[in-house]
Every structure is written in structure tokens, then in C-alpha cells.
Amino acid sequence: MCGIVGYVGGQSAQDVVVAGLRRLEYRGYDSAGVAVPADGGLASAKKAGKLVNLEKELKDRPLPAGNTGLGHTRWATHGGPTDANAHPHLDNAGRVAVVHNGIIENFAVLREELTGRGHHLASETDTEVVAHLLAEAYSSAGELAEAMRQVCRRLEGAFTLVAVHADEPGTVVGARRNSPLVVGVGDGEMFLASDVAAFIAHTRSAIELGQDQVVELRRDGATVTGFDGHPAGTRAYHVDWDASAAEKGGYASFMLKEIADQPKAVADTLLGRIGASGALRLDEVRIPPHELRDVDKVVVVACGTAFHAGMIAKYAIEHITRLPCETELASEFRYRDPILDGRTLVVAISQSGETMDTLMALRHAREQGARVLAICNTNGSTIPRESDAVLYTHAGPEVAVASTKAFLTQLVACYLVALYLGQVRGTKWGDEIRTVVHQLSDIPRQVEAVLGTMEPVRELARTLADRDTVLFVGRHVGYPVALEGALKLKELAYMHAEGFAAGELKHGPIALVDEGLPVVVIVPSPRGRSVLHDKIVSNIQEIRARGARTVVIAEEGDEAVVPYADHLVRIPAVPTLLQPLVATVPLQVFACELATARGNEVDQPRNLAKSVTVE
């Protein structure tokens, strides 16, 4: 959600921070601001709306030059997107500035205490109380890091905090609990950010911060302690992509670039998965093989697009391992008192590794004794760190809010997890596993082929820009694909879009079908699932008889669908379980083009954020 940048070094802090905020725009935001300690005081500027508004303000009224500073892009939680509610927030004396990501759950009690002691709070936010609490703590502690530790011990909820003080112009202090924060280590300069993208143009050396830790940055290094003040261990790591990977590369939007990136992303996810012995391997496994052999149930938890990947994982895991598998919305998981024990394996899927609902589901699972395996794209993030095993998707940075390459690489990872469990449990022979991995290794070529035939899909999308509703239907693994197609259209085009299991049409949804309604149908292979294929052809006839405009996605060589397709989109013939990897691509292109035709911003859809770090 909110983007945070902190800097201390030899460059202009304002320039570094604003550039970092620009690289975090993809996270979604509605206001922005910066603060710089300089000339014995503290200068700040903040504006509602896009970053360009702040940049204009800084051009008209530049802040004093300084080499330490912080900045923020806000996604509103407490209080609307106004200048007053934008970050940074200052204390009444204007000596301390703080930015915040997350939610402080006990802010109302703290706010009442502060007003009772004579503090005047100018905003509606929960963040502002921290600035005032830091000012009070600083008066006795005498240093910002200790003040931060004292304040953090009073806060409840999930938060990342970064602060500067006029009396310490060479220091930036940060703190994290259940919300992302990473340190960038440069040459004579240090960075602090909610995402490495903020400082990747300056350094690829990073330090991950653990739970309930405070970091104090100076030009010559960082000191990390727990909230209790005791020294804390850290882990340094190297970011394996550079700034160019987060640039558009000539595409009109990041989403278009990331759709085009998918063949390489899938190939990178598969890279090195078969070891010298011929066995499949993950990135990190801290679960003994005998415990995996004792697993009697798998539960997949995820949100949004990742949940649709998890639905497909259920088909793969049950087919390959013969283990029962449930797929759960992470936001609902721990509130329904799920049945878990030491023989349950929970698979947590998250692109960012910071998705709060998924993180809390993971923690609940571990409290119940279950083992957790994470599928994630972000090295050093919280979900992989708190899991017992990890499979990284290696998709590189995904900047557009609507997920594309993350989804395909999550699917690949789900298949690999299923195969790995089949390997450990002995339900699949080595040659069977290698056959599926070989089939997966051909997917990049097939996705590339699909991308090369998308102009008719773009033309179709443009003709539907004035429609109000599009329906998506599918069977078997095509059902989650239908849900994902509908989600992309909701996210980007702001249209009513629904995905259904095709067999459910006659149980109610067919009432929505009227003359000219576009219905996208994902058709299973007539070779792998002939019974389902015949049934969905009947479904197409039923909706077409009621006037629907049918858009049929079917594999090459499937002639049975031709008489009933108003628009036919061909995809390569692949094994049934792998079809989502090629069938999803036209739906991504369709949603992106339709949204563009409606004049929408595809990289930053309204009301959405890339990483949802609050429940």
C-alpha cells in the first residue's frame, strides 16, 4: 500500500526521496509528501493527489537543501485524501516528522491522551499521534532511536514507521511490525524503504528487518535493535534485478510490459528446479521429508489473483499427490476456526510476501501446529521468512497493480509444489515428474505464441468499451481462469464482470444473459477432458440461443466449437492441468485493452494498491 522512502548520505535528500517515491507509485496512493531536516529546523511539503502535485509544490516552494530526509505516498485508511491527512505528520513544535504504513489500532485512546495533555492534532489520521508521542519521548530519551523504541512499545496494530528529527539531521530511524521495511546499503549513504524498488537505482545491497525491530541509519551504517533495546540480528542479501527491470522498456504501460515479460518469467521460475540427481528441488525447505510424508491434508491460503492460482493448485495437488486439498481466502481463514494440526501443510501464496491477510493466516496455521510452505516473488519479505519452506517465483518486479506475470509464475510454482510433494511421498516416479517439468519448460514458447496472435483480441476489446457487463464461464481448471478474467476486468475497466462454473449457469446466472451480452467461454481440451468439453459446448449453445455474443477460447484443432463462436481465440494444445498458463493470457490482454479504450489508467486502477498490508 503506502510507499515509504528514507535517505541519509551525500546527495540531495529531496531529490533522492522524490525519485524513490516515483518508483513506488505502482503501489497505489492518493497523496504524497516529504520532510528534510535542514538549517536547524525541519521543512516539509505534502499534497493530495498524484506525485506531480507534490513536485509542482516543491518547484514553486523548494525545501532547504539537506542530506537527510523521508517521503511517503499514502493510501487512505484513517481520514480522506486531503493535504492535511497526507504524510509526513509533524509534532506541534515542528521538530519531528513521521511517515507510516499500516494501521495503529489503539490510536483513538492515544489521541485522547495527547489532547488531554494539551497537544493539538491537525489531521484525522492515526499516524499523527506517533509524531506527538515521539516528541514527548524525545524530550526525556534525548535520541530519536530510543524515543522510537519507547513509542513502539505503546502501539498496537500493524505498522511501519520512519522518522527524522531537527536535532539529529544525520539520522533516519525506522521501525516495523507486521509491515514491510527494508534497508539499502550504499557507499557512504543509506536508504530505508517499503520496497527495494525505491533505491534499486542506487544500490542492490539490502538488509531485511525482522519483526518488532528499530533501525537507526547514519551515512556510515545502520544499528538494529528490538523494541526492547537489545541488539537484533539481521540478514543481508543481494537484489537480483536492477532498475531497468522496473522501467517500461518502450511499452505504453507497465502492465503491457509485464504481460510481454511472461515467457521469460515462467522460464526463470523453472530455472534450476531439477538437481544433479534428477530430483526436483525448491528454494528453501526446513521441513524433514518424513513430516511431508505424514501430511494428510493441504490447505492453500491466498487473496485475489493468488487465490485463483490456489484454486488451480487444488486440482494439481489432489491429482498428483492424492492428498485432499482445500483452497481458502486468507481473509476468512482464521475467523472460521479451521481444523489444522501437525499433519496439515498450509501453502501460502503472495506476490509481495507482505499481504497482511495471508500473513495472519500463516501465523494462525503455525499456532495450530501446521507446517507452512510459501510461494512468493519477493526475497526477504515477511511471509517467506516466517514459513518452513519457500519456492520463489523469480518473476522480477511486478509494478502494475493488476497482476499478470505473478499469476502465471504462481501457477508454475503450484505445479512444482505438487510435483515436489509427489516426489517426497512417492506418488509420482522420477520420470513422471521430469515429464511434467519438460511440459512446463515448453510453456514459455507457447505463451510467446499466444502473445503473437492477440491483435484480434485487442480489436474485440475496443468494440466492447461501451458495454456494462461481461460474463466469463469455464469448467475444471477453466473455472478459476474465468474468475481471474472477470477480476482483471473489474480491476481495470471498472465494469460489472462475473466468473462462473459453466455447470452452474442453469442454476441462476443464465438469467443474466440477454441480447448482445458478451460471454467469454474457456473451453477444456477435447482430448484431455472430452466429457467436460462436450458439456461446455452445450453451455455455449444455451447462452448463444439467448442472444449472447460468445467469445470462445479453445485450443488449436478444436473444431466442435466453431459453429457456436462469434469470436474464436485459439490457444496452443497443452496438457489439461497446464491450460490456465496459456488460456489466461488472452484475458489479460482483453482487460488491458478494454480498460485503455475506456480511458482508464491500467497501471494504477482507482481505489487499489499493489500490496495490501492491512487487514
Neighbours of 336 (CB within 10 A): 9
Cβ contacts of residue 410 below 8 Å, gap of 6+? Answer: 305, 306, 309, 349, 351, 375, 393
- Strands 297-302 and 344-350, how do they pair? parallel
Q: Which residue intervals of 426-559 are DSSP H helices?
A: 430-441, 443-451, 455-463, 478-493, 530-545
352 vs 305: CA distance, rounded Å? 12
Please provide the DSSP assignment of 341-375 as one string: -TTEEEEEEESSS--HHHHHHHHHHHHTT-EEEEE
Select from 245, 213, 248, 585 the least CA-distant residue to 409.
585
Q: Which residue intervals of 72-199 are DSSP H helices?
A: 107-116, 128-141, 144-152
**Phi, psi for residue 440 in degrees, rounded to 5:** -65, -35
Q: Are 492 and 538 spatial neighbours (Cβ–Cβ below 8 Å)?
A: no
293 vs 181: CA distance, rounded Å? 36
478 vs 354: CA distance, rounded Å? 28
Displacement of CA 333 from its chain's centroid (Å): 19
**Cα dist. 565→345, 355, 499, 555, 596 in Å?**
42, 39, 18, 13, 25
For 598-613, letters b (16+ CB in 10 Å) and e give: bebebbbbeebbbbbb
486 vs 308: CA distance, rounded Å? 11
**Consecutive H or E run containing 419:** helix 405-425
**Residue located via cell numbers 493527489:** 49
List residues with catalytic annotation. Answer: 2, 610
Say if residue 384 is preceded by a cis peptide, omega within 30 of 0. Answer: no
**Residue located via cell numbers 494501521:** 103
551 vs 537: CA distance, rounded Å? 12
Select from 259, 318, 211 the least CA-distant residue to 591.
259
